[in-house]
Amino acid sequence: MKKTLLLTVDPQEPDLQKIRIAAGFIRKGGLVAFPTETVYGLGANALDAEAVLSVFEAKKRPLDNPPIVHVCEANDACRLAKEIPSKAGVLMKRFWPGPLTLIFKRSSVVPDVTVAGLDTIAIRMPRHNVALALIRESGCPIAAPSANLAGKPSPTSAKHVLDDLGGRIDAVLDGGPTRIGVESTVLDLTVDPPQVLRPGGVSYEELVKALGTVELNPVVVADHGLPVEKARSPGVKHKHYAPNADMVLVEGEVRTVVSKVNELIDSYRAQGKKVGVLGTDETVDHYEADVVKTLGSRSDLTVVAKSLFGLLREFDAEDVDVIVAEGVPAEGLGLAIMNRLRKASGYKIVKV
């Protein structure tokens, strides 16, 4: 156990002194959790193999799943990538800083552990003043997976980080709750047309608008577990976003979803189980379960994305045996939301 220092900062104009304390840990090979616009990341100097290795250890993350390398200027990507295809220029201009991670062929300055032995690297420039200031003051690119224990929902607050990693990392920069709530979109630029490996904060529709043709990797839209070979992004083959309780996801037209959810509540309760429901503003009044929570309105998926991971953690705190969750339309941000819900359910999906 080490002491984890909590550094509370203003998300817009962070106190430079506190950023420098955090950067001091990074420079010395330590681990600092920090907010981004998507979720909190657990950062280490991306060019320090030992430091990156300790990120894997702190998270209990399998070594074959590389983190994203965060930069504070688009130019910094040039040193880390072997080549920057012209489409990348278009995307960086349009979406950086922002929730878009780009996969490039990697350069030899990057240690093997940072890319899990792959010949490619994931790079993004986050849109968050705390993250950008930390990278700048550290003077190095920062490798940062989400700051949760492997398999748990990603953290959208400093409290989530401390719940998982308190005593295992040097410091947390607390910049309040994150704005987007689901992780960045991961886009592979080593293939043409480019392929979305993980849906996230930048929607598929926006990428198509910027580039023309963009493909979706089969795992992005999968509604059942796929064979590992299909997963070009190493992370997708591992268990993810899972609450402790069993989870069932009900997908379909809203009215039929409501009656199916009610049917499931009854049958689980008849088995003596403590049942939680993850519904939406439009539907929660129709449910009677042990715990009922709303993701927000179906008409505003930005709120749904923002609340999703925190609510999954709340169900764990209330010790429910099973969570029955409603699906939302898989368009715009909905694609990322549904991808996380489906994974969280272990692909236990009921289509009505």
Binding site for Mg ion (CB under 5 A): 146
Shortest Å distance, C-beta 198 to Mg ion: 9
| Per CB under 6 A, 339 contacts ligand TXA | no
Query: In degrees rounded to 5, what are phi and psi of residue 343?
Result: -65, -40
Q: From residue 118 to residue 137, what is the string marking binding to ligand TXA with x (rule CB under 6 A)?
A: x-xxx---x-----------
The residues facing 123 across adjacent strands are 69, 102
> Which residue's CB is nearer to ligand TXA, number 4 or number 114?
114
Shortest Å distance, C-beta 101 to ligand TXA: 5
| Per CB under 6 A, 114 contacts ligand TXA | no
Per-residue exposure over 197-229, b if at least 16 CB sit within 10 Å of its own CB, e if not: bbbbbbbbebbeebbeebeebebbebbeeeeee
Shortest Å distance, C-beta 147 to ligand TXA: 7
Shortest Å distance, C-beta 297 to Mg ion: 27
Type of residue at 168: R
- Do the beta carbons of residue 222 and residue 342 sit within 8 Å? yes
Q: Quick check: bond before 193 cis, omega within 30? A: yes
> Which residue's CB is nearer to ligand TXA, number 158 or number 324?
158
> Which residue's CB is nearer to ligand TXA, number 279 or number 334?
334
Q: Where are the alpha helices (DSSP H) in the chain?
A: 16-27, 49-59, 76-80, 86-95, 129-138, 158-165, 204-211, 218-221, 254-270, 301-317, 334-344
| Per CB under 6 A, 39 contacts ligand TXA | yes
> Which residue's CB is nearer to ligand TXA, number 21 or number 118?
118
The DSSP call for residue 147 is: S
| Per CB under 6 A, 54 contacts ligand TXA | no
Q: Binding residues for ligand TXA, per CB under 6 A?
A: 36, 38-39, 41, 65-68, 99, 101, 103, 115, 118, 120-122, 126, 144-146, 183-184, 186, 197-198, 233-236
